[in-house]
Structure 1
Amino acid sequence: MKLPLKHIVILVICSLIGIFVYQAYWLTGLYRSMKMEMESNIRDAMRTSDFNEVVLRVNDLQKDNVEHGSLTVSAGYDADGNSLVTQQTISYTDSSRQDTIHSRTETTTDTVKTVGNASEDSKAVASSESGLDVLLKKQDSLKELLMSIQQGIHSGVDTYIDVNLQRYDSLLTHVMKEHNLSIPHHTLLIYTGTSADSSIVYTDTLGIAGDSSYIPSPKAIRYDYEFNMHHSQRYQLVFEPINSLVLKQMTGILVTSFVILLILGFSFWFLIRTLLKQKTLDEMKSDFTNNITHELKTPIAVAYAANDALLNFNQAEEKSKRDQYLRISQEQLQRLSGLVEQILSMGMERRKTFRLHPEEINLKELITPLMEQHQLKADKPVHIELDIKPETLVIVADRTHFSNIISNLIDNAVKYSKKEAELSISCRQTGGTVTISVTDRGIGIPLDKQKHIFDKFYRVPTGNLHNIKGYGLGLFYVKSMVEKHGGTITVKSEPDKGSTFTITL
């Protein structure tokens, strides 16, 4: 059972829509994942740059130890594992006296807050005796632990040397470049405090670094990183939305997806186009079968009737009648032979063994007999004007097939003329090019049908009129043979004004 073409087209369209929707869903999910990863990289870059800035400040303090003393900063948990202890010790030394003048030790204790479900924490505590083990059970808790240690070190170092915002911005820019995040930005150092009675909360910007030419737009986004344990100071990174940056990083994937969709769309379009062509070809073959059956049946029936009259009705005894019926039989058999020869030529034309046998042909000697034949066999008055310049014009072509080409064009011009056929055949040589034109004043061809007239089995629709016989092979044969000779054929036509077929060799 054949699936109707309409259903095939619907299935193809549904398949394309399904592929497009899935591709869009997948790309949207990938976009969100990449955006989240990029935002995570930005936060990690801010934390990493802060740690590096603290380390550099500690290195600066160590370089000053010889002249100004020593600094020790340590952080860790107390015995119960629940409190984070930060200890800073500084000793000032007079290098000339080689003894310690002053030593100061400060200890700060902060209680570590764990985040999570109460029941989960209680189970974790039950399975471990150390609070540190509870933190290490979860990746988020481990990250929180490391940040608390970093904040503790930060608080100790900040006591003796201020934050270097310009250095932090340079470190941040470098780390972001490693993550392919080279974007204009501002880095702010912000302090948040309260009044003496804690009734007023204020925020003050202590410094700005970054790209001086960058001006944040209203859509600019801000990322905060609180670096001290009292949450009073933070870095703020300001830059434009990263949507375009994410899309830029997805360029390769987007282009590949588009190319795949384009290839699939073209493939499906080509499939549907092929199916439509096959359907049209099938219809044309059906029409051809009907037409050729009629064309072959007519000469057979006429020849049979003539022979039957000679054999069964004593028409052979009268010489004039006998000659008439024999002539009729001969004409119909010639017509039948011509039809069969043309059909066989169509089959041979597509075989690899098909070969032309070119020779020099005088166009006038070739075309003149063809004109006389068509004038004799036509059922209407035929006037043909031949104009060849120069008169001795010669071409190199296969005599048999080129004769058929001209004969087909003349035959079409006669068939599609009205009550009286008026034709003109023009042959011209320009340089090394020969043009042969056959012009009639017949019914013409509509413009939208002209591009199909050289298709196999195609016949221009004539509505309910069926007085013009044919089976759609003539012009296809003409075009095929002209191309085999290395030439081209074109048509110019207007309805009710006639047509002109031009061969260029």
Structure 2
Amino acid sequence: MGKKMFVLIVILMSISLIGIIAVQLYWIDNAVESKNQQFTNDVKISLIRVAERINEKEQDLIDRKIEGMIENIGLANAAQIKNYFFQEIDTTNKQTFSLGATYLEENFKLPAEDFLDNDSIILKRISGKKDFFQTKSFAGMDNNTPPKVLRTSFTKRYTNLEKEYNYETFRSLFEKKPINQRVSNRELNATIKDELNKKNIFLDFKYGVYGVDGLATKLKSGYYTINKKDSYRHPLFFNSDNLPVHYLYVTFPTKNNHILSGISGILLLSLFFIFIIIIAFSSSLYQLIKQKKISEIKTDFINNMTHEFKTPIATINLALDSIKNPKIISDQEKVVRYVNMIRDENKRMHTQVENVLRISRLEKNQLEISKETVDIHDIIEEAISHVHLLINDKGGSVETHFEALTPEITGNEFHLTNVVVNMLENAIKYTEGAPKIDVYTESTNKFFIFKIKDEGIGMNKSVQKNVFDKFYREQKGNIHDVKGHGLGLAYVKEIVDKHHGTVFVESEKGKGSIFTVKLPLI
């Protein structure tokens, strides 16, 4: 996959993810807003009904007071009886409607001293009854069958008060009273609670009644203060000009929790899916980057492997061509030298292939590792002897510092020897000039620890994170100043893991490296 295509795919995936999350968040916000609007509408309707009930109750109180006054007066100042009759005939449907009414009109004038400014009030009381009749005829099946007659009737009795003249003067008596005498805290609280419950709102609330001038009244719950941002307001009482006199404010401390709880199911589900989408995207992106990295590493590995095989193959070809030369084939000493050269180069290629296969078998758990009690000090000495010629060839040295009191562990001698050999070869490869290597050992109650320290080129932090990865080499691309395929340290980590140990590196660019291996004791 090309770099441009890779970047394009990542950008498109990122845009898609951001778009999906944005849509989800939009719908969540829309759901919260809808729930909040519904709550607001329900509260406003409830407050309207509260104001209506409070005003209706006061109106009933006024009417009862007037009725009491009328009863105290006794006889009306003027009275007359009136009759009313109405009839309508529908010939098409053969129906007759009749309405008759008889009612008594009584006029009362209440004493002037009971009102403000010596005003008086005239009331008209109307009481009586209404009689309604309906007759309907149905034709028979033939001319010999008489028609059927259906008759319905009802009587309605009523009493009504009609206020005339200066009735509002009487009402002004109530308006002059302090509001806490017109309605009590207990009554107002119960009315608000009842109306809210009708709208399925069972939340704790706080309320307060304020005048149009913003001054607080005694009608409030606790130490209530106006919070216009979170409060709901509605007029409670009106004056004679139908203008608000007092406002009722209601606040819900747990409103947000109530709104969120109403959509908690869909909210949690949306957040869960957003989380799944992010995890899936992150995983996909990680795998995509990882596969791209592996592809690049494998390309480097193939280039390096090709280069490593090219030299021995060329050497073998030259040796074979030389042997076929009649002058050389008769020289037994040269033939033997060329045959040994072919064998050494073949052995070298075989070792390289074996390293690759060994790593593959380790990853697939196909490599059997038998374990027995071994002495790590002996294994380290054996490994040093394997690389002795390489070190001498570069004019270097290896110093051992064995301080471990208990060097015996349970492990595989062959593979542990290869581990030490690979680490020593790595130290030799990445040292410019004569390698100087120190091997330290120590032991704790549970672990045997050995360290291999070199004074080579070292490595930076990013290289240290990947140095144990398969095929990884610090030199990228087709660069062959250092031999190898990036398998040595990967093999080291696999074998150490198989022995339930750990391996890590401490290094600084230009100052060398220290590889540390911890293996459990018997």
TM over 0.5: yes
Q: Distance in 1 between matches of 2:256 and 2:427?
A: 67
Which residue of 2 is the match for residue 164 of structure 1?
A: 183
Closer, same or farther in 2 for the Cα pair 1:325/1:394, shift >3 Å? Answer: farther
Report if aligned partners of 1:165, 1:207 keep a CA contact under 8 Å in 2.
Answer: no
- Residues 169 and 429 (structure 1), Cα distance of their counterparts in 2 relative to 1, 3 Å cut: closer
**Which moves more between the two structures, 291-300 or 405-414?**
291-300
Tell me by how many angstroms 1:63 deviates.
12
Gaps of 5+ in 2: 72-85, 87-105, 109-122, 127-167, 175-180
1:189-268 to 2 correspondence within 5 Å?
208-217=218-227, 219=229, 221=231, 223-225=233-235, 231=242, 236-239=247-250, 245-246=255-256, 249-250=259-260, 252=264, 257-268=270-281
Q: Which residue identity is paired with 2:255? A: L
Task: State TM-score, norm by structure 1.
Answer: 0.70
Paired amino acid for 1:22:
V
- Which residue type is aligned with residue 28 of structure 2? L
* Distance in 2 between residues matched to 1:460 and 1:219, nearest whole Å: 63
Aligned-pair CA distance for 1:69: 11
- Cα distance 1:207–1:439, how it changes in 2: closer, same or farther (>3 A)? closer
| TM-fit CA distance, 1:207 | 5.2
Q: How does 1:265-276 map to 2 (within 5 A)?
A: 265-276=278-289
Identity %: 26
SS of alignment partner, residue 206 of structure 2: coil
State whether residues 226 and 232 of structure 1, in contact with CA within 8 Å, keep that contact through their aligned partners in structure 2.
Answer: no
Partner residue, 1:182: 204
Alpha-carbon shift at residue 18 of structure 1 (Å): 1.6
> Does the aligned pair in 1 maintain the 2:17–2:278 contact within 8 Å?
yes
Q: Deviations over 1:51-97 (max 9, x none)?
A: 66578789999999xx9999xxxxxxxx9xxxxxxxxx9x9xxxxxx
Aligned position for 2:95:
none
Q: What code does the residue aligned with 2:189 have?
A: D
CA distance in 1, matches of 2:33, 2:332: 100
Question: Residue 340 of structure 1 is aligned with which of 353, 375, 388?
Answer: 353
The answer (yes or no) to whether the contact 1:375–1:382 under 8 Å persists in 2 is no
Contact 2:374 2:410 in 1 (8 A): yes
CA drift of 1:224 comes to 1.9
Over 3 Å counting, the alpha-carbon distance change for 1:234 and 1:32 in structure 2 is farther
Q: CA–CA distance in 2 between the matches of 1:303 and 1:482?
A: 36
Counterpart code for 1:41:
D
Instruction: Map 1:486-505 to 2 at 5 A.
Output: 486-505=500-519
What is the alpha-carbon distance in structure 1 between the residues aligned to residue 463 and residue 366 of structure 2? 33
> Which whole-Å CA distance do the structure 1 matches of 2:503 and 2:302 have between them?
27
Give the secondary structure class of the aligned counterpart of 2:387: helix
Rate the CA distance shift 1:395–1:28 in 2: closer, same or farther, 3 A: closer
Q: How far apart, in 1, do the equivalents of 2:397 and 2:504 lie? A: 23
- 1:380 deviation in Å? 1.9
Structure 1 CA distance for aligned equivalents of residues 410 and 319 of structure 2? 42
Contact kept? 1:225, 1:236, Cα under 8 Å: yes
Change (3 A) 1:489 1:390: closer
Asked whether the 8 Å contact 2:304–2:480 carries over to 1, the reply is no
In 1: Cα distance, 2:466 partner to 2:321 partner: 43
Residue 77 (structure 2) aligns with: none
Distance (whole Å) between structure 2 residues aligned to residue 270 and residue 422 of structure 1:
44
| 8 Å CA contact 2:394, 2:434 repeated in 1 | yes
1:407 alignment partner in structure 2: 421
AA of the residue aligned to 1:236:
Y
CA distance change for structure 1 residues 390 and 259 in 2, over 3 Å: closer, same or farther?
A: closer
Q: Residues 465, 39 of structure 1: CA spacing in aligned structure 2 closer, same or farther, 3 A cutoff?
A: closer
> What is the alpha-carbon distance in structure 2 between the residues aligned to residue 313 and residue 359 of structure 1?
55
Give the secondary-structure state (helix, strand or coil) at the position aligned to 1:185.
strand
- The residue aligned with 2:12 is 11
CA 1:457–1:348 in structure 2 vs 1: closer, same or farther (change >3 Å)? same
1:176/1:182 contact within 8 Å kept: no
1:375 positional shift: 2.3
Gaps of 5+ in 1: 71-78, 80-88, 92-103, 108-154, 191-202
Counterpart-to-counterpart distance in 2, 1:418 and 1:298: 23
Compared CA separation, residues 249 and 460, structure 1 to 2 (3 A): same
1:477 maps to which residue? 491
1:185–1:238 contact (8 Å) kept in structure 2? yes
User: Deviation per CA, 1:475-495, whole angstroms, max 9, x where unpaired?
Assistant: 111112211110100111122
- TM-score normalised over the length of structure 2: 0.68
- Distance in 1, Cα, partners of 2:433 & 2:230: 83
